Structure 1
């Protein structure tokens, strides 16, 4: 059976979306190709028509997921720096982001796996993350502030997710939000 040319690309995007959700929820290394493909409703053989290896899938996932994050950051409706930042803080530092990693940012879930991956994956991660960093730098008027804010956001989610007590999780998110806002307010006035 012959498929339309766009079918393969559409199926690849669908596979990236589904496997991304699973990898963000359960971990990429912890889930085998068979498990990923079963969740996506395709055979392992279909996997190899889209990706040459599990590492190739990880590289594609990193690129796809960071592109999704970039699109979210880019869709922020605010142009004023303070409003842009507050919007991102309100969007990122939420209990739902903790409770549903499969729907959230790839950074708190897969960064450690990327750190253990080969150079090709690290280069893809770096390339895509630098695009996001450039966007944050524009709104913060500082490359250093952009790195600090991005790292603070990811770290806050990562640490809060590891806590058992939901109230403690909320406190961690709120504390980070407050510290980021205070820091940026103090350094924008200087």
Structure 2
């Protein structure tokens, strides 16, 4: 059977989307190729027609997922810094993001796995993260504040996800919103 020329690139994006959801929810290392492909409804043979190895998948996944995060941050409808920041704080430090890692940002879910990966994957992660950092810097007017905000957001979600008690999870998210608002806008403190 012949496929249209756009089939293979579209199928690759579909595989990245599905494997990204599984990796963010269950962990990349904890899921085998068969598990990823089963979730995508295809055979392991299909995997090897798109990726040369599981590490190749991780590299592609990091690129794809960080692009998704970048697109989300770029879609923030606000132009002025204060509204842009508040929008991102509400969106990122939300119950939905906390409870549904498969639908959220890759940073809290896979940063520790990327830290254990090879240099090629780390370089891909760094390159894509720097694009997001540049966007945050543009809105915050300061590279250091951009790094602080990104790290605080990711850390708050990571720690909250490791907490059992929902009320404490919510307190952690709210405390970080308040801290970031006061740090980024001292007049709001």
* TM-score over 0.5 for the pair: yes
Compute the TM-score of the two structures, normalised by the length of structure 2: 0.98
Q: Could you tell me how far 1:32 is from its partner in structure 2? A: 0.2
Runs of 5+ unmatched residues, structure 1: none
Aligned to 1:150: 150
Task: Give the secondary-structure state (helix, strand or coil) at the position aligned to 1:5.
Answer: coil
1:8 has 2:8 as partner:
yes
Q: What is the aligned partner in structure 1 of residue 46 from structure 2? A: 46
User: What whole-Å deviation, never above 9, does each CA across 1:146-182 have from its counterpart, x for those lacking one?
Assistant: 0000000000000001000000000000000000000
Q: Distance in 1 between matches of 2:29 and 2:104?
A: 18
Say whether 1:165 aligns with 2:165.
yes
- After superposition, give the CA deviation of every residue in 1:83-131 in whole Å (9 maximum; x if it has no partner): 0000000000011111110000000000000000000100000000000
Match of 1:57 in 2: 57
- 1:113 matched to 2:113? The reply is yes
**Partner Cα distance (1:92, 1:8) in 2:** 33
Give the number of aligned pairs: 188
Which whole-Å CA distance do the structure 1 matches of 2:187 and 2:128 have between them? Answer: 27
Q: Where does 1:31-110 land on structure 2 (aligned, <5 Å)?
A: 31-110=31-110
In structure 1, C-alpha distance between the alignment counterparts of 2:76 and 2:97, rounded to whole Å: 17
CA distance in 1, matches of 2:133, 2:140: 10
Moved over 2 A (4+): none
Identify unmatched segments of 5+ residues in structure 2: none
Aligned-residue Cα RMSD (Å) equals: 1.0
Distance in 2, matches of 1:54 and 1:26, equals: 15
Q: Which residue of 2 aligns with 1:24?
A: 24
| SS, match of residue 49 in structure 1 | helix
